Amino acid sequence: MKLQNYVNGEWVTASGGFVDLHDASTGDVVATCSSHGLDMRRILDHSRGVGGPNLRNLTFHERGLMLKAIAQHLGQFKDEFYELSLATGATKSDTWIDVDGGFATLFVYASKGRRELPDAHHIVDGPPEIVSRNGTFVGQHIFVPREGVAVQINAFNFPCWGMLEKLATSLLAGVPAVVKPATASAYLSERVFRRIIESGIVPEGAVQLVCGSLGDMLDHVSCQDAVVFTGSASTGHKLATHPEIVANATRFVAETDSLNCSILGKDAAPGSPEFDLFVKEIAAEMTVKTGQKCTAIRRAIVPSNYIEEVEGALAERLEKVVIGNPRSDGVAMGPLVGLAQRDDVNARVRELGQEAEIVYGGGQEFPLVDADMGKGAFVAPTLLRMREGGSDEAVHRVEAFGPVTTLIPYSSTNDAIDLARKGEGSLVGSLFTHDAKIAREMVYGTACYHGRLALINRDCAKESTGHGSPLPHLVHGGPGRAGGGEELGGIRSVMHYMQRTALQGSPAMLAEITDVWQKGAHEITGAEHPFRKHFEDLAIGTTLHTESREINLKDVEAFAALTGDTFYAHMDEEAAKANPFFEGRVAHGYLILSAAAGLFVDPAPGPVLANYGLENLNFSKPVYPGDRIQVRLTCKQKTERIGAGYGEVRWDVEVTNQEGEPVATYDLLTMNAMRG
């Protein structure tokens, strides 16, 4: 089949220059692809001019619901994707990581977009900055979507997940994407993408697909665009230094292959749970996806007195691995993605072999199930071991992107830290130890060289996702050789597609612009209690100033008796006076909150359905028996829950004493019904 490109709102077949894409196990041609004849400038213009406005017209919550709908739609075609994935050399369990992992990432970002972001087109970043004496001139940071396009260049090893994780973050940010799948496995990416387009869920221009070469696309990037890359460190460097990317300061986010390490703690002796977990994890990382994972363990750093046992235990595990055509029952490891990749891995093993000894695998002949060694891209799991007293330059520089790991002995914790750091930046490192002191020393010695550290032991192993499993909630990226980017990391990765801008002006002006009330902005007062207003009738800035109430000694003692909180500062006059912060007995902070609620709550049934939280609480001044408190309650921010029949309201609450001095401030969170 000829793969097509989806550009400018239609499926297009290239005009020539097709290359064959082969089944990794049989060598048969699966598809052909090309982007020859495409107008790359026009493609970018379509994203910017059509896709961008269409996406930015949606709020974050609407975009989150869009991601959820995409994931649900794609789930109907799971078996189809599974079948096609076999041609890439992936086993059934490998495919589960790629396909189901991609769907799960969409669901996570759909949820995070609706829980952590406002139902708006911008994000208010942090509290206001007071930059003037009287508070009439303030600063506020906001995030807005950039008005460009995300050029997303994916790797061959995860044709589904790799594409969907990037789309989840850029679409949630409101930035359209041009997807460029890796050529070797583009047939699976194209099929998943085709199902997305057929669904009609995404707006016109929000996503485009280029199968084959990007041609001169990067010659046309602008300061509003982003180039997001997953692949080899050498290719990442070439892209990052493209003249137009440099000249325009085009945002460049890279996640590149790195020489990830796993360290066995000195406490994890043979026979310990951590020793067994370490061996199991290395064997898994060598064989899952045939070692073609950017997070795979390339360097196993082991106490020198345990290295013989580790080597033997690994060899025993690897001996049981069944290699062959992933369509056959019992096969645990398939081929590499193609013959070129096989040749590259074998060349890298020979390079590593100049400094390290091959202690398992490495041969050209080994048992295969339902496969021909001459046609498929098969490589045996290969374990190397550093030679005593030899140079270790290559093992910290050369990566065989396949089922290859090198054992490296160490003598002390500091020695292990130095070895880990020699990778010059990794996506992930892992440590197997039950000793918290060792773990602490390792973390603070290596964290600055890693994007993620997995600390695995008997306490968390059953629920651990393991060394090599990136999660959408956590950073997936790393410094140095790992590319310096963060493809994932919850909402952090969404921000790569957005612009942080500092606004300066009056509180009233900034409140009007950001839809978040702040102190000093206009207050809207009236006869009707704010709690009597339905969600859509409640304006930002709607304010209630309550009557005042005296807090007396009987209140304090009754509250202590009711709650059991008899802390001396509330009950003992002399002891309270001895405290440098107090002049005598003080009211409980939570008594002040309860009394404040009594002042502002409207008791009758109405639009307020529930109080579901209180945030940013600060007690700024003590309240003494005899003081009078008063409350200002202001509607600060509103977030509609689409389709739920209610919205969330954030109220700015300030409790003051008889001198008008704030004694407590906090945000109150309520659920307010919508009309009808």
570-587 pLDDT, tens per residue?
A: 999 999 999 999 989 999
Question: For residue 63, is pLDDT > 90?
Answer: yes
The distance of Cα 163 from the centroid of its chain, to the nearest Å, equals 14
List CB contacts of 90: < 8 A, sequence separation 6 or more. 98, 289, 326, 334
If we measure between CA atoms, which residue out of 152, 232, 261 comes closest to residue 481?
232
Say which of 33, 160, 211, 294 is annotated catalytic: 294
pLDDT band of residue 486 (cuts 50, 70, 90) is confident
CATH homologous superfamily for the domain 21-257+493-499? Aldehyde Dehydrogenase; Chain A, domain 1 (3.40.605.10)
Respond yes or no: is residue 294 known to be catalytic: yes
User: According to the model, what pLDDT value does residue 389 have?
Assistant: 62
Respond yes or no: is residue 223 known to be catalytic: no
- Looking at the chain, the domain(s) classified CATH 3.10.129.10 span 523-673
- Looking at the chain, the domain(s) classified CATH 3.40.605.10 span 21-257+493-499
The angle at the Cα of 414, spanning 409 to 416, to the nearest 5 degrees, equals 30
Cα 10 to Cα 394: distance, rounded to the nearest angstrom: 48
Mean pLDDT in residue range 452-476 = 90
Mean pLDDT in residue range 61-87 = 95
User: According to the model, what pLDDT value does residue 10 have?
Assistant: 94
User: According to the model, what pLDDT value does residue 131 have?
Assistant: 87
3-state helix, strand and coil shares in percent for the chain, rounded to the nearest 5: 35, 25, 40
Architecture of domain 523-673: Roll (3.10)
Question: For residue 287, is pLDDT > 90?
Answer: yes
**What digits encode the pLDDT tens for the residues 380-420?**
999 999 987 667 788 899 899 999 999 999 999 999 999 99
Class of domain 261-469: alpha beta
H-helix or E-strand containing 19?
Answer: strand 19-22
Say which of 255, 274, 281, 311 is annotated catalytic: 255
From 207-211, 336-340, 433-437, the region with the lowest mean pLDDT: 336-340
**What digits encode the pLDDT tens for the residues 495-507?**
999 999 999 999 9
Per-residue tokens: 464: 């651990």
**What digits encode the pLDDT tens for the residues 306-323?**
999 999 999 999 999 999
- Looking at the chain, the domain(s) classified CATH 3.40.309.10 span 261-469
Q: What is this structure's pTM?
A: 0.91
For 355, other C-beta atoms within 10 Å of its C-beta total 18
**What digits encode the pLDDT tens for the residues 219-252?**
999 999 999 999 888 888 899 999 999 999 999 9
List CB contacts of 617: < 8 A, sequence separation 6 or more. 593, 664, 665, 666
Which residue blocks in 333-378 are alpha helix, DSSP H?
Answer: 339-352
User: What sign for the dihedral angle of Cα 100, 102, 103, 105?
Assistant: positive
Per-residue tokens: 567: 């802390």
**What digits encode the pLDDT tens for the residues 90-148?**
999 999 999 999 999 999 999 999 999 999 999 999 999 988 888 889 999 999 999 99
